[in-house]
């Protein structure tokens, strides 16, 4: 046999069988595919580190439980903590978070509340708040900003110290999570001269709306409020509450009554009406006085024990639409094209009225012997 033939023979004996060749090629293809996925995931992780809203593309639902952030804007303590304790006690703690804006230096501990849900939930950077002043908006912005630090918070509910829930947690959670929209009371103001032309052009008069400050926002809109640096400075400068009538000041006080009476927290939002349910989820019964100078007409009626009967509460829960006279507009309530109650919360409730809701089981099962037992 010649040298050339021996080389060919040796080479042919060293060739791999066909099935082995295919297996090796398959492994190489698989290795390339895995490497590509790893590179893609790394790039995606880097891009998601940029501060943005919470999107389903960025997080896996199995890793993040969607939560409701309850934002309490209070004077100092929470007088209705016993009712809210029972409300949260009947809920999965993975479905909610709590944030409280109180006066600077006020700490929620065992000396001011018996509810463990509120321990140390106060903001550390709170501000002094004045009714009808821009500081009210500043406090709200601080609440939203604090709650946005938790990426699992998807719904943000602003509440006062006199607010009560009208349903148990399960009902409210399902109601809110089934809607992709924010709930912001919004209607054309035709009865009061609140718009200040100095706000133009950033806030044009045709976009001027009035509404309740007790709003419920989805995450994207909460970000707009928390990180706004355009509207708020204009409100600080041009949206101010008119001084109360003081007859002792004579004509000077009468002249002051001709000023624009702008209540900042009743107007603060802009540019997203087509993304909203233009109604509040918090019921208020307003004083019906027609006297312009009657300051009681500026505040809702307080519910006492007698007015918190089961029938009265059911009447509120049965409201399924709201009519806005200034726009001849009717808002039908519910979510996902199904009718339902307009209101999930109500204010202003006294301690006696809240206790009646508690004992009637409005917010869930109630046992006075175990209400404030430690949760383990």
Mean pLDDT, rounded, of the chain: 78
Q: How many CB atoms lie within 10 A of CB 265?
A: 24
What does the pLDDT read at residue 52? 33
Would you place residue 294 in the very low, low, confident or very high pLDDT band (cuts 50, 70, 90)? very low
Residue 333 · residue 282 · CB < 8 Å: no
The lowest-confidence range among 14-23, 191-200, 231-240, 365-374 is 14-23
Give the residue from 352, 289, 353 showing the smallest Cα distance to 316.
Answer: 353
What does the pLDDT read at residue 147? 98
What does the pLDDT read at residue 369? 79
Q: Are strands 216-218 and 338-339 parallel, antiparallel or unpaired?
A: unpaired
What does the pLDDT read at residue 101? 98
Residue spans per domain, the chain: 67-360
Residue 127 · residue 104 · CB < 8 Å: yes
Is residue 151 predicted with pLDDT exceeding 50?
A: yes
Is residue 374 predicted with pLDDT exceeding 90?
A: no
Would you place residue 266 in the very low, low, confident or very high pLDDT band (cuts 50, 70, 90)? low
- Cis bond before residue 46 (omega within 30° of 0): no
What does the pLDDT read at residue 156? 98
Q: Is 126 exposed, middle or buried (0-12, 13-18, 19+ CB in 10 A)?
A: buried
Would you place residue 62 in the very low, low, confident or very high pLDDT band (cuts 50, 70, 90)? very low
Name the phi and psi angles at 23, rounded to 5. Answer: -65, -45
Distance CA 13, CA 20 (A): 14
What does the pLDDT read at residue 133? 81
87 against 242, higher pLDDT: 87
Look at the block and give the residue holding tokens 């989805």: 218
Would you place residue 261 in the very low, low, confident or very high pLDDT band (cuts 50, 70, 90)? confident
What does the pLDDT read at residue 28? 46
Would you place residue 6 in the very low, low, confident or very high pLDDT band (cuts 50, 70, 90)? very low
What does the pLDDT read at residue 264? 65
What does the pLDDT read at residue 132? 74
- What's the rounded mean pLDDT across residues 304-318? 96
Q: Are strands 67-73 and 182-183 parallel, antiparallel or unpaired?
A: unpaired
- What's the rounded mean pLDDT across residues 152-169? 97
Distance CA 285, CA 298 (A): 11
What does the pLDDT read at residue 204? 79
Over residues 211-240, the pLDDT tens digits come to 788 999 999 999 999 998 888 888 888 777
The lowest-confidence range among 146-150, 167-171, 288-292 is 288-292
What does the pLDDT read at residue 22? 52
235 against 162, higher pLDDT: 162
User: How many Cα atoms are found within 13 Å in the side-chain-facing hemisphere of 56?
Assistant: 3
Distance CA 15, CA 12 (A): 5
What is the value of pTM for the model shown?
0.76
Take residue 318 and report the two structure tokens written for it.
């049965």
Is residue 138 predicted with pLDDT exceeding 80?
A: yes
What does the pLDDT read at residue 262? 77
Is residue 15 predicted with pLDDT exceeding 80?
A: no
Percent of the chain beyond pLDDT 90? 48
Is residue 112 predicted with pLDDT exceeding 50?
A: yes
Take residue 259 and report the two structure tokens written for it.
């000023």
């Amino acid at each position: 046999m010649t040298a050339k033939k021996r080389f060919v023979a040796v080479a042919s004996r060293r060739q791999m069988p066909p099935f082995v060749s295919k297996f090796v090629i398959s492994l190489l293809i698989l290795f390339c595919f895995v490497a590509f996925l790893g590179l893609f995931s790394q790039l995606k992780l880097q891009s998601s580190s940029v501060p943005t809203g919470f999107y389903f593309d960025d997080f896996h639902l199995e890793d993040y439980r969607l939560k409701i952030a309850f934002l309490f804007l209070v004077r100092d303590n929470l007088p209705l903590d016993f009712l809210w304790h029972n409300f949260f006690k009947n809920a999965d703690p993975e479905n909610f978070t709590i944030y409280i804006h109180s006066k600077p230096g006020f700490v929620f501990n065992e000396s001011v509340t018996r509810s463990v849900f509120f321990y140390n939930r106060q903001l550390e950077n709170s501000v002094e708040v004045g009714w009808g002043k821009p500081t009210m908006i500043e406090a709200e912005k601080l609440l939203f900003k604090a709650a946005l630090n938790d990426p699992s918070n998807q719904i943000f509910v602003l509440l006062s110290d006199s607010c009560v829930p009208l349903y148990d947690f399960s009902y409210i959670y399902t109601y809110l999570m089934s809607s992709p929209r924010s709930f912001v009371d919004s209607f054309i103001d035709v009865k009061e001269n609140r718009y200040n032309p100095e706000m133009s052009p950033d806030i044009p008069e045709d976009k001027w709306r009035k509404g309740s400050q007790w709003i419920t926002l989805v995450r994207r809109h909460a970000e707009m409020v928390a990180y706004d640096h355009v509207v708020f400075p204009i409100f600080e400068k041009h949206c101010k509450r008119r001084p109360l009538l003081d007859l002792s000041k004579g004509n000077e006080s009468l002249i002051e009554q001709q000023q624009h009476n702008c209540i900042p927290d009743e107007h603060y939002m802009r540019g997203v009406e087509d993304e909203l349910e233009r109604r509040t989820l918090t019921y208020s019964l307003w004083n019906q006085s027609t006297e312009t100078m009657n300051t009681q007409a500026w505040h809702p009626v307080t519910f006492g024990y007698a007015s918190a009967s089961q029938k009265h509460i059911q009447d509120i829960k049965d409201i399924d639409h709201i009519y806005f006279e200034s726009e001849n507009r009717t808002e039908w309530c519910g979510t996902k094209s199904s009718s339902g109650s307009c209101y999930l919360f109500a204010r202003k409730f006294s301690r006696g009225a809240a206790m009646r809701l508690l004992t009637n089981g409005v917010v869930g099962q109630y046992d006075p012997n175990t209400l404030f037992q430690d949760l383990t």
